[in-house]
Amino acid sequence: MTSQKTSDAGAILHRRLYEGKPERLAGLEDERANAEVAQAIYDLRKEAGLTQKQLADLVGTTGSVISRLEDADYSGHSLSMLRRIAAALGRRVEIRFVPVGGSAQPV
C-alpha cells in the first residue's frame, strides 16, 4: 500500500486513527449513529415548536430524558422511546440497513 500525500486534515486523521483498525471504525460508526439520532430528535422537536418539557409531557416522560436523548454523546436510545417520540410528533420511525459504503435500502 502506497501512502499518498494529502493536506486534508480529515483524511490524514482518518488514515492515522482508523485505517486498518476495524474496532475503531465500529466505534466511530456508533458515535455517528448516536449523533444522528440526537440531532433528528432535536430537529423534529424544534420544527414542532416544542420545548423539551412540552415534548416530554406529550411522550409521558421528563424534560431531562428528552435532554439526554438530544445529547450526541448519549448511547442508550431505545426503539420504544423513539417510537413514542415519533408518535407524539405525528411521525413514524423508519429503520434501514445500509451496505457499508453503499446507498440505503429500506427494510
The yes-or-no verdict on residue 18 having pLDDT over 80 is no
Once rounded to an integer, what is the mean pLDDT over residues 86-103? 86
Q: 26 or 4: which carries more pLDDT confidence?
A: 26
Residue among 83, 86, 80, 79 nearest 33 (CA): 79
The yes-or-no verdict on residue 21 having pLDDT over 60 is yes
Note the pLDDT of residue 29: 83
Taking a C-beta distance cutoff of 8 angstroms, is the pair 96, 105 a contact?
yes
Whole-prediction pTM value?
0.73
Taking a C-beta distance cutoff of 8 angstroms, is the pair 64, 30 a contact?
no
Question: Hey, how many other C-beta atoms are within 10 angstroms of the C-beta on 66?
Answer: 25
Q: For the domain with range 10-95, which CATH number is right: 3.40.50.2030, 3.40.50.300, 1.10.260.40, 2.102.10.10?
A: 1.10.260.40
